[in-house]
Amino acid sequence: MTVFAHLPGAEALATFYARFANAVRDGHLAEAREPLIADVLRMAQAWVQAMPPAMAVPDLPAAGGLRAALGPWLAMAETAYQQWVRSEAADALIGAWTAGVAIPQGRHAAAMGAGEALGQAALDAVGLPAEGMARTLIHADGSARVYRYGDRLSTQSTPLLIVYAFVNRPSILDLAPDRSLIRGLVAAGRAVYLLDWGDPQPADAARSLEDYITGTLDRAVRVVGGRRAVDLLGVCQGGVLSLVYAAHRPRRVRRLITMVTPVDCRTPDDLLSHWIQPVAPMTWAMGSGQVSGRLLDLAFQCLAPYRVGLGKVLDLIDHAADPLWVQRFRRMERWVHDCPDQPGRAFAEFVRYFYQQNQLFNGTFVLAGRPLNLRQIQAPILNVYGLHDHVVPPAASRALAGLTASKRYAELAMPTGHIGIFVSARAIGLPAQLGAWLARR
């Protein structure tokens, strides 16, 4: 996708990341602060060129505290963007974009388009791979893989199978030794397994969502659990798949944890759902029948470009003298922009069934020729969500309450966003909390 590459802001952002990459390579990141700030100013000015005069970018401090100085402006800019992005003008712009039409320059368009330059620059020049713990491949199923974590298996605990999403990579769950949900669960005595969907192959383009659930996921559960029921931990889209599987095969699931999982996909504050409603998902498919991961990356960057996109750049400049912080930032950038392509048919069905028709929440989803009833789930459920999640709003996750027959349903609200729930300092204690919940039940 190159429809936004010509817009103001994109060039400045690409320049920023190129300068950042060179400074990291040469070991002079702290000295590059002033030119990096100049790049940020060019980008910010381009983003707000059509805003009222009151939205002008404020003067920046000569020393630290860049994020604090720009915090009020970021909040105002994000509010203005969120109002505009739900307007008819924005709907028309997004509709043209999803149809592959070149987009003319317009209000906030640069904020939407800068993510494209950011994506490839961050991935190629800035990103570091995750520093994951040792794991063992125990099962291969097409492009999907099941891994076991830890050198020793716990014989005292039920196997815990993590079901990740198709979107992005599960490496976010084990990003670094001090930021790892998986390491924390292993330390809590859990026998941890991961279902990684991998990169779709050409034959996967025509596979149905049902085949992934009743085929790949079911086989993974049986490999991990044998004759025993397993604990499932579903992440985001993987949480939806886990809910569907638990209702379809209730005897195979002992306990269920859902994390940042969309259940009601039509809440008023769900911007992603607002964008998706008029879209014919298969129009996003490439000639291979897959949906471009780069396109999805760009869409996610557009959800909160000021608060999240520009905000993290300001944080980087403020922490330029902290090697550990910079290293963590680089790993995050690698993960954020490394979005695999999506299997076309399964992607289109997920969007249509759950986002456009809200079938999981409405109870109208059909699997294997039979209506799926979440009331079939009687297992204990822990529903974990982020209070500041801009991808899956809290209301979208909390809608799960009352939809199942579980008598031991609980919620855990974390003071984080969609990604921070896995890597933020405010979520470091989460693995221990999950382990304790499993141990009590």
| Top-level class of domain 135-267+342-440 | alpha beta
Question: What average pLDDT does the structure give for the chain?
Answer: 84
CB neighbour list of residue 183: distance below 8 Å, 6 or more residues apart: 133, 174, 177, 431
Burial letters 63-90, b for 16+ CB under 10 A, else e: eeebbebbeebbebbbebbbebbeeeeb
What is each CA distance from 41 to 10, 23, 71, in whole angstroms? 13, 19, 14
The rounded distance, in Å, linking the Cα atoms of 153 and 147 is 12
Please give the pLDDT value at position 135: 95
Does the CA dihedral 81-296-185-256 come out positive or negative?
A: positive
Q: Which residue has the tokens 């729930």?
A: 421
Burial letters 24-44, b for 16+ CB under 10 A, else e: beeeebeebbeebbebbebbb
Please give the pLDDT value at position 152: 59
Q: Is residue 236 among the annotated active site residues?
A: yes
Q: Which pTM value belongs to this model?
A: 0.88
CB neighbour list of residue 27: distance below 8 Å, 6 or more residues apart: none
Per residue in 55-106, pLDDT (tens digit) is 566 666 656 677 887 788 778 778 877 887 788 877 776 666 666 544 344 4
**Per-residue confidence band for 204, with pLDDT thresholds at 50, 70 and 90:** very high
Please give the pLDDT value at position 412: 98
Give the range among 162-176, 299-313, 410-424 with minimum mean pLDDT: 299-313
CB contact at 8 A, 261 and 383 = yes
Going by C-alpha positions, the residue among 134, 136, 118, 138 that lies closest to residue 126 is 118
Burial letters 11-22, b for 16+ CB under 10 A, else e: bbbbbbbbbbbe
Give the range among 12-21, 160-169, 289-298 with minimum mean pLDDT: 12-21
Q: What are phi and psi of 409, to 5 degrees?
A: -95, 135
Average pLDDT over residues 174-199: 95
Average pLDDT over residues 390-403: 97
Question: Residues 236, 265, 302, 339: which is the catalytic one?
Answer: 236
Average pLDDT over residues 321-337: 87
Average pLDDT over residues 323-328: 88
Average pLDDT over residues 271-299: 82
Per residue in 23-67, pLDDT (tens digit) is 877 778 878 888 888 887 777 776 666 444 445 666 666 566 778
Average pLDDT over residues 318-338: 87
Structural domain spans, the chain: 10-126+293-337, 135-267+342-440
